[in-house]
Structure 1
């Protein structure tokens, strides 16, 4: 599954005119989300997220399989994939953008904005996210969080279940990059 994601992301990046020199890759990035309502909390984590950064120009791409999210309850996972995200129709979420003013030579930590387009559930939206970029001896780590709205991605929540799912979802991510090798 990871290999399939890698092939997909490399194909995606090649269409974006990014070569593989000066790139770093995170093969097992982590994305989690949290929905809080008075009725119930819903949280899930996906540890099969692939991301590549072109160090020359700060371009970043992220691809994740929506069906790889793990929930506390199997029924939540089933509803998420079948009723809301429709992962059989929309199997991946993708972010393509740039790390604004990113300097790969800076050691330590820098805070920057990631600006780009996030596509999920067949809907593409411009997105700006404040990210922390750490450059240490083992490579780069990019992390951050943002809020998103269910309605922005045409996800239909049945009225009967509307009280169980928050209108705003908190998303956290962390990618640990290593040098990309063909």
Structure 2
């Protein structure tokens, strides 16, 4: 049910009703992870329930996820992440909406280095971002890999001074998704 709701929200978000004949690829089981490494602590988590859509003709892309779907190896760390840092009850989702800059024909099999420019919303704050990645098209599905970095302070994520040395200033975010033709 969550998958259907996530995809429905993304479809509405991208105004799919206005698309016409363009091809739509999507998933509700994309993987997004983040990694923070300091001399005092390594923090990592993965979310395997991220929704994503790519509209080929307009080259629009959208990714959305529930913050509480991030899983940590340490349950206490996961609890602190959701309650103290991300305030998941108040800001339940993170999203990216943008456009692929390069003109690529994703209906043709091939590997395409891409750059997406758009807006990233985390913790209720929206900022412009550029995300570099690769799309591998089989002609029937798309494999999307991407990486970028986020500064928690830019998204008003407060880190208490007691643990500031345990959290990197730049958090590495990466994703791997297989999107199928809808």
- Shorter-chain TM-score tier: over 0.9
Q: How does 1:131-150 map to 2 (within 5 A)?
A: 131-136=133-138, 138-150=140-152
Post-superposition Cα deviations, 1:123-181, rounded to whole Å, max 9, x if no partner, equal: 1111111110101155111111111111110000011111111111011101101011x
Query: Runs of 4 or more off by more than 6 Å in structure 1?
Result: none
Structure 1 stretches lacking a partner, 5+ long: none
Q: How does 1:6-155 map to 2 (within 5 A)?
A: 6-14=7-15, 17-18=18-19, 21-101=22-102, 102-136=104-138, 138-155=140-157
Q: How many residues are paired up?
A: 180
Looking at structure 1, the residues matched to 99 and 17 of structure 2 have their Cα atoms a distance apart, in angstroms, of 12
In 1, are the aligned partners of 2:7 and 2:27 still within 8 Å (CA)? no
Q: CA RMSD in A?
A: 1.7
Change (3 A) 1:20 1:67: farther
Secondary structure at 1:79 match in 2: helix
TM-score by length of 2: 0.93
Partner of residue 179, structure 1:
181
Partner of residue 167, structure 1:
169
Looking at structure 2, the residues matched to 143 and 50 of structure 1 have their Cα atoms a distance apart, in angstroms, of 14
Compute the displacement of 1:11 (Å).
2.2
Change (3 A) 1:179 1:160: same
Select between 101-110 and 150-159 the one with higher mean Cα deviation.
101-110
Compute the displacement of 1:14 (Å).
2.2
Looking at structure 1, the residues matched to 143 and 120 of structure 2 have their Cα atoms a distance apart, in angstroms, of 20
TM-score by length of 1: 0.93
Post-superposition Cα deviations, 1:56-79, rounded to whole Å, max 9, x if no partner, equal: 111001110011000010011101
Secondary structure at 1:177 match in 2: strand
Post-superposition Cα deviations, 1:77-102, rounded to whole Å, max 9, x if no partner, equal: 10110010111011001100011123
Looking at structure 2, the residues matched to 164 and 17 of structure 1 have their Cα atoms a distance apart, in angstroms, of 47
Looking at structure 2, the residues matched to 113 and 105 of structure 1 have their Cα atoms a distance apart, in angstroms, of 18
